[in-house]
Amino acid sequence: MAATTSTPPVAAVPTPVADTLAGKTRKKLVSRGATIASIIIAILWTTPTFGLLVSSFRPENEIKTTGWWNFFTDPEITMKNYNDVLFGQSAANGRLASFLVNSIVITVPSVLFPLAIASFAAYALAWLNFRGRDWVYIGVFALQVVPLQMALVPLLSFFSRGVKLGGLTLMPPWQLEGAEKFVQVWFAHTCFALPLAIFLLHNFMSELPGDLMEAAKVDGAGHAKIFRNIVLPLIVPAIASVAIFQFLWVWNDLLVALTFGGTDQTAPMTVRLASLAGTKGGEWQRLTSGAFVSMVIPLIVFLSLQRYFVRGLLAGSVKG
């Protein structure tokens, strides 16, 4: 009769050691030194913005001759910079109010369109089984490394010449004029945003519990109902993170707006800010108020969605 061998018991993982290390790390992060370092970094990070705000309320001669910190020894406040930048009627002044409206008209659809399309695509790649799904996901992931500048000329050709195959016209030229050029800017921003948006939302959706999906299918729910009633409420942090990224990218964009927007009728604030200092750069005092006006709306959006930001970024990054 063959002798039986018994497998020795596996040694338990020394969790107290790991807990001790985690505790030491946590204490270091909440120590007085870490708190002081965080405060110093926060002060250094916000000081330029505070100086920009103070300078925007100072007279032109004070801005050009003294530093912003002199405001506290000889305070003098004026709203002329904001009035010139927002409502000035001459070509030398800002007239930034109309460009602010253009920025909002460009940014809001350029955020909503890629979010909607990416949400559907991410759900399909995460929870629908179809032939070639993995290859599609690899292609989407690979598109993230393609520089935006490489797509500008082909996209311009697509708008101006359409799509032709041999002698057959598959899609005619767009031939958009005036305010219709907003459509070109929306289309370009949507195309450039989709790879990253799909990647981030897919990582979040793929971490949702499969048992939840199976239970919904057993109850008779189709993919549309699962997506609407189960997935969407659970991916709000990821959607908020992608929305913040896309909003800041589109709001601060200059290249795409110059390439596809064209005229002042569809140009955003960044186009006007680039020429706000004048042809010779002598009117740079307007840049203080102009830059701060351009910062206000992104700050409001970020502060409104910041509670979802970290959760959305970390979602799907760690398994187990």
pLDDT at 4 over 50: no
Structure confidence by residue, pLDDT tens digits, 279-297: 555 667 777 888 888 888 8
Mean pLDDT for the stretch of residues 26-48: 79
Sequence letter at residue 182: F
pLDDT of residue 57: 87
* 270: helix, strand or coil: helix
pLDDT of residue 14: 46
Please report the pLDDT score of residue 280 as a whole number: 59
Q: Which residue would you say has higher pLDDT here, 4 or 200?
A: 200
Least confident of 10-19, 35-44, 251-260: 10-19
At residue 320 the predicted structure's pLDDT band, cuts being 50, 70 and 90, is very low
Both structure tokens of 137: 């996901």
User: Residue 180 to residues 105, 171, 177, 184, 263: CA-CA distances in angstroms?
Assistant: 12, 18, 5, 8, 11
Asked whether residue 311 carries a pLDDT value surpassing 70, the answer given is: no
pLDDT per residue as tens digits for the range 61-113: 888 888 888 888 888 888 888 887 777 665 555 577 778 888 899 999 999 99
Question: What is the fold, at CATH topology level, of the domain defined by 96-308?
Answer: MetI-like fold (1.10.3720)
**Best-predicted range by mean pLDDT (8-22, 29-43, 78-92, 212-226):** 212-226
Q: Is the Cα dihedral 257, 262, 266, 267 positive or negative?
A: positive
pLDDT of 312 > 60? The answer is no
- Predicted pLDDT of residue 262: 66
- What's CA 182's distance to the chain center, in Å? 19
What is the domain partition of the chain in residue ranges?
Answer: 21-78, 96-308
For residue range 222-264, what is the model confidence (pLDDT) as tens digits? 888 888 888 888 888 888 888 888 998 999 888 888 888 766 6
116 has pLDDT over 90: yes
Q: Quick one: which of 208, 209, 226 has its CA closest to 217? A: 226
Evaluate if residue 205 carries a pLDDT over 80.
yes
Average pLDDT over residues 180-194: 88
The sign one gets for the Cα dihedral 49, 53, 55, 60 is positive
Strand partners, 164: 169
Average pLDDT in the chain: 79
Nearest CA to 188 among 164, 165, 163, 158? 158
Residue 168's DSSP bridge partners are: 165
Residues sharing a CB contact under 8 Å with residue 24, sequence separation 6 or more, in sequence order: none
In the predicted model, what is the mean pLDDT of residues 158-181?
78
Mean pLDDT along residues 40-65:
86
Question: What pLDDT is recorded for position 29?
Answer: 54
- At residue 25 the predicted structure's pLDDT band, cuts being 50, 70 and 90, is low
